[in-house]
Structure 1
Amino acid sequence: MPTPQPSESPTASAAQSGGPSATATSVGGGWPDASSTGVPEGTELTNYTGGCEITKPGTIIDAMVVNCGLRIHASDVKITRSRIKGNINLRDTAAGHSFTISDSEVHVGDKLITGIGNGNFTADRVEVTGGNRSMYCATNCRIENSWVHGQSGDPAGKAHFSGIRMSQNTVVRHNTIICDAPRTPPGAGCSAALTGYGGFAPVRNNLIEKNFFLRGDSSFCAFGGSTRGKEYSDQAGHIRFVDNVFQRGSNGKCGNLGPISGFDPSAPGNVWQNNTWDDGTELTPPNFGR
């Protein structure tokens, strides 16, 4: 473990800790927010002095402030009760590397990078702000009880933003998900709180269960893996949206164009079950935006 340094204040909001200001500190209704994610109140944090390249299996980072991005090149890395001022990146998903992060915060700042990625990870009770994408799972991820919001903007007006992007073998359960990055001309802005397109690989074997999709400022609140024109859109399958809640917002649609796009209810194993608007009424989008 790193040598302890003088402690930092035990808790802080995203704005206090260098991330974008939060959309709201309290979501309500039992959904994950500032009160249930991030560093637990009363935790004494010390400055992390270890390497930013993690190569030792079983490395533990607990109750630390990490002032760099972490690169995971080892198995069974554990990050708990910590504040990361940067991102966490596991690049080689085929090498057996893996990590878990819990009761922690990842504040990426104004950088066009992913907050937590790219696979073989578990995130539980984590708050993520900044970046152009809060989390990305290429394969083998479990994201639960977490709060993603406050993505950064792009003054150049080019980048597309999202809360969580899924590809394969992903569980996204009981999270509060929003994409609320500012729209900047000519083309920067949010695609969706949850994206899955089928542009680089088939979107398959994903469970999206009991999440709260907030209105934000995205085109849709979710993309379901079968976006028209994408190379692998016809190979999507076993994508299950179950018991999710979509916030209508002032336009009554969740996203600017609708709640979800690119979900094919006829694809093998695809399920759309008991998803509702935030007023409790059933949500069955016509043609799912296809």
Structure 2
Amino acid sequence: MPGASNTGVPSGTALTVHNGDINVTKAGTVLDGLDIRGLVKISAANVTIKNSIIRGRSMNGPGALINNLGGFSNLVVTDTELSPSAASPDANGIYGYNFTATRVNINNAIDGIHVTGSNVVIQDSWIHDNMHYLKDPNQGGSPSHDDSIQVQSGNNITVAGNRLTDSHSAAVQITQDRGKVSNFAFTDNFANGGACTVNIAEKSYGPIQGAVITDNTFGRDSRLANCAVIAPTTTKIDFAGNYYTPDDTLVTIRKG
């Protein structure tokens, strides 16, 4: 299971401190072995971030330690930790799409990952210890809506082999806030917490097509009892092999 020993910067890696933001504008850039005291913006294709820690900085509104909202293709984030150096309701982990995140450790952020488009793989990663505020200025003074992974739109999204814990809202929240979501696969994960741990909403875009939720293990710490997965009945899900721990009870979908 993903954890401290097998996600984030590998033990013994020497890091070079970089003070300030990085705007990557050259295709094929590799950021390797850095301790980044700022934010990273992706402005080119085929960028790799590996063996690094990104700590962010103070922000004047919601943002992400890694920003690929432009959707530049083939962003790869591997063996990297995203951990805001200062607690903030503005700090999130990754925003964007067209990326693969592998063995990433994201902690102390509001949302671990915001998926805003297509072609995303999140695998073998640990997203945990979300920040949560009872009076969050970004929610009009109501509590934070912190999620491990929030999917706002996109096709071809895979979440596999991860450990997702400690979020207040959901481990995975599909909102369709920006557009339609399709071909979403959630497999072989451990997920726990939230009101309901996986929460699927259709909103104005209708049923999610090609949804798969298989072979996952769910904890019992959702605020609503026995609510590992909630979804509208109009969204048809390939749903099998999902169990609660520690009692190995079969998970069923709650009607949402």
TM-score (norm 1): 0.75
Contact 2:19 2:37 in 1 (8 A): no
d(CA) in 1 for partners of 2:176, 2:42 = 26
Given the alignment, which residue of 230, 235, 243 partners 1:267? 235
Kindly indicate whether residue 156 of structure 2 is the aligned counterpart of residue 179 of structure 1: no
Contact 2:21 2:37 in 1 (8 A): no
Residue 139 of structure 2 is matched in structure 1 by: none
Q: Greater CA deviation, 275-284 or 46-55?
A: 46-55
AA aligned opposite 1:162:
D
- Whichever structure has more strand as a proportion of its residues is 2
Given the alignment, which residue of 185, 196, 200 partners 1:220? 196
Given the alignment, which residue of 55, 59, 80 partners 1:104? 80
Shift of 1:263: 4.7
Residue deviations 1:81-133, cap 9 Å, x none? 1011121011112xx44411111100134232421121111110010012221
Shift of 1:47: 1.3
Distance 1:225 1:273, change over 3 A: farther
Residue deviations 1:203-248, cap 9 Å, x none? 2111100000123xx211011343xxx222x232111001011012
Residue 179 of structure 2 is matched in structure 1 by: 201
Shift of 1:160: 1.1
SS, match of residue 135 in structure 2: coil
d(CA) in 1 for partners of 2:91, 2:15 = 25
Kindly indicate whether residue 146 of structure 2 is the aligned counterpart of residue 165 of structure 1: no
Kindly indicate whether residue 49 of structure 2 is the aligned counterpart of residue 75 of structure 1: no
SS, match of residue 214 in structure 1: strand
Residue 147 of structure 1 is matched in structure 2 by: 126
The total of aligned residue pairs comes to 235
d(CA) in 1 for partners of 2:104, 2:28 = 20
Q: Which runs of 4+ in 1 moved over 6 A?
A: none
SS, match of residue 157 in structure 2: strand
Shift of 1:69: 0.7
Residue 238 of structure 1 is matched in structure 2 by: 210
Shift of 1:50: 8.1
AA aligned opposite 1:240:
V
Alignment of structure 1 residues 23-102 onto 2, 5 Å:
31-48=1-18, 52-86=22-56, 87-93=65-71, 96-102=72-78
Distance 1:124 1:57, change over 3 A: same
AA aligned opposite 1:241:
I
d(CA) in 2 for partners of 1:235, 1:51 = 39
Shift of 1:199: 3.3
d(CA) in 1 for partners of 2:55, 2:134 = 21
Kindly indicate whether residue 252 of structure 2 is the aligned counterpart of residue 284 of structure 1: yes
AA aligned opposite 1:147:
W
Residue deviations 1:127-151, cap 9 Å, x none? 0012221011122110000000111
Identity of aligned residues (%): 27
Residue 22 of structure 1 is matched in structure 2 by: none
Contact 2:126 2:163 in 1 (8 A): yes
Shift of 1:53: 0.8
Give ranges in structure 1 of 5+ residues lacking alignment. Answer: 1-30, 181-189
AA aligned opposite 2:37:
N
Give ranges in structure 2 of 5+ residues lacking alignment. Answer: 57-64, 137-141
Distance 1:225 1:155, change over 3 A: closer
SS, match of residue 231 in structure 1: helix
Work out which of the two has the higher radius of gyration on C-alpha atoms and give 1 or 2: 1
Contact 1:238 1:267 in 2 (8 A): no
Residue deviations 1:2-47, cap 9 Å, x none? xxxxxxxxxxxxxxxxxxxxxxxxxxxxx11111111111111111
